[in-house]
Chain A
Amino acid sequence: MARLRAGDEIAHVITWAFAASVFVITCLLLYELWSACALPRHKFGLAFLVTSTWDPVFEHFGALPFIYGTLVTSALALLIAVPLGVGAAIFLAELAPPRIADALSFVIELLAAVPSVIYGLIGVFVLVPILRKYVEPALKGVFGYLPLFKGPAVGVGFLAAGVVLAVMIVPFILSISREVLLSVPVDQREAALALGATKWEATWKVVVPYARTGIMGSIFLALARALGETMAVTMVIGNDPKISASLFAPGYSIAAVIANEFTEATSDLYVQSLIELGLVLFLVTIVINALARILILTTAGRGTAH
């Protein structure tokens, strides 16, 4: 007995310490970023967050266009990827014959393993010309009166970045959502069917709500990936720190500008401003995740089996 209790104690302590270390690492990261950008914090203060000039020659630095670009491309990616990923997951988990579903999920998980630079290359050489020649003129023709679809169609820009990101995050949403849907107990389905629900009603009104927390989790994981994606975004976003309402216009994201400019930055203020951008990205991610948690907490329970 005593031996077993000691084993429990040790396991408890070790796992507790591992869990705590995640928290400690997060705090250290925040502390290091904070202390490594003292110069721009004192020079620009909060104006750093709302200024839209990024001028390495005259050393005026503002993060707003980068924050805007990061948020817009990620939102666009979610807008495309969520219906696609969740819809496909429902099909694979509930409707498709198991053999086909297994084969398809294998292919989709392969997609998640493709390096982002490959997505960037496909974006540059395949997606961008298609957007420029066909998609953007068509959107302009139909919705041209909206500010979202104004301006010259050059291919690279927010739209291209959003589409590439969407393709990159679909596998995350799809494979996690499918696992979650598959883990919904069979008696839930059987109960719904026994009450006279059609197959679709059982899926949409019982299984999906039961799995909702897990599906939301997959979406936030995908969002986190979209916010931090660097290589594929920088290859197709146009890399121009401007804020434009049009999705056709070139923009810039936080991760992309850090990767692009860090190696050749020489002056202290310049380097530290790039580090402060890193801090901003960190905070943006935390805020968005916190908002997402709150969203789940406030909506959880309504119509779900939890």
Chain B
Amino acid sequence: MTTPTRNRLAITLTFCLILIAGLLSRPEPSSPAPAAPADRLQINAAGATFPYPIYSKWFDEYHKLHPDLEINYQDIGSGGGIRQLQSGTVDFGASDMPLTDQLLGQFKDKPLHFPTVMGAVVPTYNIPGVSAELKFTQKALAQIFMGKITKWNDPQITGPNPGVKLPGDDIVVVHRSDGSGTTFIWTDFLSKADPDWKAKVGSNTSVNWPVGLGGKSNEGVSGLVQQTPDSIGYVELIYALQNHLGFGLVQNKAGAFLKASLAGVTAAAAAITMPADFRVSITDAPGKNAYPISSFTYLLIPSTISDGAKRTAITGFLHWMLTDGQKYTEALSYAPLPKEVVAKEMKQIPDIK
């Protein structure tokens, strides 16, 4: 081997070592947001996608009132919001489902739950020749999604729907394929409707579906339902309302068949006994007017915020969101919080230290 070759090898190896060292050394965690002007306070938040339209409206309106404060919200999904809050990369998070005890146990500083608005989920279906709004008992919905009821003319479906001629065709079940708060609400409801569902499938943002096709997002599910004869799926109430989709009535705890509406969702939230930490499921709520497939969506606020300016800003925003902010909800088809819940949340704001 001649000297130039050996030199070249040495140079190359050194170069590679530097490269590897550079790639391996982890950068120090830095603030993800670009530096704000000194007189402007920036707060970063991330989480659920379902309430994103109302949150961006709120943060925008609040910014108009307080030009020196800017809240950036990234709708990366509840799971991502919880993870980022845990690692401290955001100032607060947002989730469509309350944190489980197990998840809460992983936090050094337990976040507080602040319900913001409510959502609901509705069954949507496509049966050729049937234009009537079908009534579903809770048990029937669970059995359909379990794959136990396989024909549209099953007595459990025809029972509450006298006068509607249902075909003897196979039911095609459609569910969400992406992890979603909508799936959580739906499966939480099915778990209460049928103990068998609770034992075998359970509730989460994604579950091990016994039967059915998966569609991505509300659009995917409603697209599949509209295209596939004899299918049934579930979508968010807001999505169904904004796109003028037909949907079925669901029996509530009091026995009444109810078509989902914003008032029915608020009634469900008002009917439930609210625990001190707001972690509550409002599916299958009591009361004649309560729609049974409803849920809160939450902001997750750290219980200790060491930065005084940020603490003042966040508590100020919460106060505004629970009072003036609520008037923006119905224009965007979200059900507003009942008065009792607002009053209770107001009492939780001073707990942020």
Residues of A bordering B, CB below 8 Å? 5, 9, 12-13, 16-17, 20-21, 24-25, 28, 53-58, 124-125, 128-129, 132, 152, 154-156, 234-235, 238-240, 250, 252, 256, 259-267, 271
Q: List 8 A–B pairs whose Cβ atoms lie within 8 Å, in order of A's numbering.
A: A13-B11, A24-B20, A56-B207, A238-B214, A260-B206, A265-B205, A266-B78, A271-B83
Inter-chain contact B178/A263, CB cutoff 8 Å: yes
Does any Cβ of A come within 8 Å of B167's Cβ? no
User: What CA separation (Å) do A256 and B215 show in the bound complex?
Assistant: 11
Does any Cβ of A come within 8 Å of B4's Cβ? yes
Hey, which chain B residues are within 8 Å of A54, CB to CB? 208
Inter-chain contact B77/A263, CB cutoff 8 Å: yes
Hey, which chain B residues are within 8 Å of A262, CB to CB? 79, 179
Hey, which chain A residues are within 8 Å of B202, CB to CB? 57-58
Further pairs besides A260-B214, A264-B205: 8, Cβ < 8 Å: A56-B179, A124-B227, A261-B205, A262-B79, A263-B76, A263-B178, A264-B78, A264-B180
**A235, A252, A259: most-surrounded residue (chain B CB, <10 A):** A235
B131 to chain A, nearest CB (A): 21
Does any Cβ of A come within 8 Å of B16's Cβ? yes
Hey, which chain B residues are within 8 Å of A20, CB to CB? 12, 16, 19
| Cβ contact of B8, chosen from A13, A55, A58, A132, cutoff 8 A | A13
Q: Which residue of B lies closest to A259 (CB)?
A: B178
Inter-chain contact A24/B16, CB cutoff 8 Å: yes
Inter-chain contact A239/B12, CB cutoff 8 Å: no
Does any Cβ of A come within 8 Å of B33's Cβ? no
Does any Cβ of A come within 8 Å of B268's Cβ? no
Give residues of chain B (72-111) contacting chain A, Cβ–Cβ below 8 Å: 76-80, 82-83, 102-103
Q: Known contacts being A21-B19, A24-B23, is A264 close to B216, with CB within 8 Å?
A: no
Inter-chain contact A261/B78, CB cutoff 8 Å: no
Q: Known contacts being A57-B201, A239-B214, is A261 close to B103, with CB within 8 Å?
A: no
Hey, which chain B residues are within 8 Å of A56, CB to CB? 179, 204-208
Inter-chain contact B206/A17, CB cutoff 8 Å: no
User: What CA separation (Å) do A267 and B204 show in the bound complex?
Assistant: 11
Q: Which residue of A lies closest to B214 (CB)?
A: A239
User: What CA separation (Å) do A260 and B176 show in the bound complex?
Assistant: 9
B17 to chain A, nearest CB (A): 10
Hey, which chain A residues are within 8 Å of B208, CB to CB? 53-58
A123 to chain B, nearest CB (A): 11
Hey, which chain B residues are within 8 Å of A239, CB to CB? 177, 213-216
**B11, B79, B202: most-surrounded residue (chain A CB, <10 A):** B79
| Cβ contact of A57, chosen from B8, B24, B83, B207, cutoff 8 A | B207
Residues of B bordering A, CB below 8 Å? 4, 8, 11-12, 15-16, 19-20, 23-24, 49, 76-80, 82-83, 102-103, 170, 172, 177-181, 201-209, 212-216, 220, 223-224, 227-228
User: What CA separation (Å) do A17 and B20 show in the bound complex?
Assistant: 11
Inter-chain contact A154/B214, CB cutoff 8 Å: no
| Cβ contact of A154, chosen from B20, B78, B213, cutoff 8 A | B213
Inter-chain contact A261/B206, CB cutoff 8 Å: yes
| Cβ contact of B213, chosen from A16, A21, A240, A263, cutoff 8 A | A240
**B23, B180, B204: most-surrounded residue (chain A CB, <10 A):** B204
User: What CA separation (Å) do A214 and B198 show in the bound complex?
Assistant: 56
| Cβ contact of A240, chosen from B16, B178, B207, B212, cutoff 8 A | B212
User: What CA separation (Å) do A151 and B213 show in the bound complex?
Assistant: 14
Q: Which residue of A lies closest to B229 (CB)?
A: A132
Hey, which chain B residues are within 8 Å of A235, CB to CB? 216, 220
User: What CA separation (Å) do A208 and B176 show in the bound complex?
Assistant: 47
Hey, which chain A residues are within 8 Å of B223, CB to CB? 124-125
User: What CA separation (Å) do A128 and B225 show in the bound complex?
Assistant: 13
Hey, which chain B residues are within 8 Å of A5, CB to CB? 4
Q: Which residue of B lies closest to A31 (CB)?
A: B24
Inter-chain contact B224/A265, CB cutoff 8 Å: no
Hey, which chain A residues are within 8 Å of B78, CB to CB? 264, 266
User: What CA separation (Å) do A255 and B210 show in the bound complex?
Assistant: 22
Inter-chain contact A265/B179, CB cutoff 8 Å: yes
Inter-chain contact B204/A17, CB cutoff 8 Å: no
User: What CA separation (Å) do A5 and B202 show in the bound complex?
Assistant: 71
Q: Which residue of A lies closest to B80 (CB)?
A: A263
Hey, which chain B residues are within 8 Å of A12, CB to CB? 8, 12
**B77, B82, B214, B227: most-surrounded residue (chain A CB, <10 A):** B214
